Each structure stands twice: as C-alpha cells, then as structure tokens.
Amino acid sequence: PSGLHENATNWIVYEDDLDLCANDTFLEQRYILATLYFDTNGASWIKGSSGGRKWLSQKSECNWYDVECSDDGFVKSINLESNNMDGTIPYEIESLHSLQELNLEFNKLSGPFPLLPSSMLELKLNNNKLSGVLPEKWPPNMSLLQINHNKLSGSINSLSLVTTFRVLVLHRNEFNGTVGVHFGGLKSLTYFSLHKNNLEGSIPEDVCLLRDGFTPKLSHLSADCLTDPTPPKVSCPSILFEDVPCCTECHN
C-alpha cells in the first residue's frame, strides 16, 4: 500500500496490540476500519479518538466508538455523524460484506462517491463535500439514501433500478438531466427530494401516480418547479383527472 493506506498497514503490522494472525477472519475488517480512521484524519475526530471506546485500541473493533457488529462479529453499522471527519471515504468500505448502515453525515468528507457493499441498506452522507457522479450499480435492497448538500453531479437515474428505496434525499447537489420514468416503479417510495439541482424536463406521469389516492405512499416530492418569477426548470403536472399537485414542494 502507499499514501494514507500505508498508515493503516503499518498500524496493523507494528502497533496493533491485538496482534491478529495473517489468516484471522477479522483481520480484513480491522484493516478497513483503520483505513477509514487514517483517511479521514481520525486524530482530529470529536468522538472515537480518545476514551474507553476509541478507535485503534487493542479491543475488538466491535467495541470501537459507534461500531456495531452482528452476533458473529462482523461490522454491520458505523455511525460517525458530526465528527469532524476530513478526507475521503476509502474504497475498501465495499469489502465490509455485512455492513448495512453507514452514517457519516455532517462532516467534511470530499472526493468521489464510495463503492458500497451489496449488504448496504441505509446510507447517510449528506452535508459533506462529495463530488463526481453516482455509481451505475447499487446494493439491491437499499431503502434509504440521504446525500443532500454535496457537490454530486450527473444523472440520478441509476437509482431507479433499486425498487426497494423508501427515501431518496438528493436535493442541493449539481445533478443534471431528467428524472427517469423508471422511478415510477419504486412502489415503496415515501420521500423524494430533487430541488436545488440542475435537473430539467418533467416529472414523469408514473412518478406522479405514486402520489395518487386518499393515502398516497409518496408523501413528499420536491423539485425546482416554482413558476414565478421565471419558467420552472422542472415541470410538475397535476395528477391525471384530479386537481392534486404531483409535487408537494416547489423551489426555484
């Protein structure tokens, strides 16, 4: 390894008092968490850099601050929001094969969108400085993606292939293009925020139909659809045959 990852390797080899064997089942995940620590300036974290549950202690990584493991000892949740994390999310996160929830919101993370393990269910990376485009493939059972207030760009339409999404919080980025018709296939979607982006075109009819009925599943749909004082960037029609707005919230 080179660069910051060399720090994680050196810690595992020379400094880690747990001193796992090279063939230990948990060596890889311990290395990955050490990489996350070093790549995000762990010494300056608010939580987890000191105390009884500090990261890089001789204890099992399952006892590190806000790391939760399954009964068989594999990391399933990491929750380090508002923690003064500064740097990039290491690509090795993809190899945490039991990780279901990752919450790194309200930090200073930059760089590209991370690769995700197929086990991921909920991801919160909002209020950071991430840039670049979204991946083409997503974990198949994701239910929540919260990535608002970043600098992400490109198309959002790869998200429409994951029909299990309940919450998509995408506002205040730099996404462009149109909202794809396949989002209408997300029958469990309850919250969909798109405003303050560079999207254009019209919200597809199939998406609007998720707002139909006395108790619509999709209770929040926001876009840059405000008509005054200029024509809207995104057209948000009424639901067919009813005077019910497709969008619940319009911005300019």
Q: What is the pLDDT of residues 206-228, one digit of tens each?
A: 999 898 765 668 999 999 999 87
Is residue 114 a contact partner of residue 134, using CB atoms and an 8 Å limit? no
Question: Residue 77's closest CA among 98, 94, 63, 56?
Answer: 98
Question: Residue 177's closest CA among 205, 149, 151, 158?
Answer: 158
State the Cα–Cα distance between residues 234 and 178, nearest whole angstrom: 9
Q: With a cut of 70, say whether residue 172 has pLDDT above it.
A: yes
State the Cα–Cα distance between residues 252 and 247, nearest whole angstrom: 13
Please, which pLDDT band fits residue 2 given cuts at 50, 70 and 90?
Answer: very low
State the Cα–Cα distance between residues 48 and 82, nearest whole angstrom: 12
**Among the ranges given (72-76, 203-207, 211-215, 246-250), the one the predictor scored with the smallest mean pLDDT:** 211-215
Specify the pTM. Answer: 0.94
State the Cα–Cα distance between residues 32 and 96, nearest whole angstrom: 8
